[in-house]
Amino acid sequence: MITVRFVQPGPHGPVEDREVEVEPDGRSLMKAAVDAGIDGIAADCGGNLTCATCHVFIPPEWQAKVGPARGDEDTMLDYTAVERRPNSRLSCQIRLTPDLDGLWVELPERQY
């Protein structure tokens, strides 16, 4: 099992700050969030890369391991509810592997 942390900042501290344990079996970060009931991930398309409602921000210390958005994901990031940043990713495109143990991601203030 690996641990992944989801943090949604608010004006007076985190709105959501949860750690979940997940099998590092290649499932998507989005799937792990949905299965754990993380409120900040809507995942309307179920991971089919068509909705941009699983937007997350990758902290600097994890960017090299997670990697950048490419291709269709990069295009879809132009349609997020909260403006994309250089560290934006769609969590449906991040596969959980053992080397991502301890990963944490920041959730945007909204997905719509």
Residue 102 lies in a domain: yes
Residue 31 lies in a domain: yes
Q: Is the pLDDT of residue 14 over 80?
A: no
**pLDDT tens profile 94-108:** 999 999 999 999 999
Which residues span the domain enclosing 50? 2-106
What is the average per-residue pLDDT within 6-22? 87
CATH number for the domain that contains residue 66: 3.10.20.30
Residue 16 lies in a domain: yes
Overall number of domains in the chain:
1
Residue 112 lies in a domain: no
Q: How confident is the model at residue 10 (pLDDT cuts 50, 70, 90)?
A: confident
Residue 85 lies in a domain: yes
Residue 100 lies in a domain: yes
**pLDDT tens profile 41-87:** 999 999 999 999 999 999 999 999 999 999 999 999 999 999 999 99
Cα 5–chain centre separation = 10
> What contacts 81, CB < 8 A, 6 or more positions away?
52, 53, 55, 108, 110, 111, 112
pLDDT of residue 9: 82
Q: Is the pLDDT of residue 11 over 90?
A: no
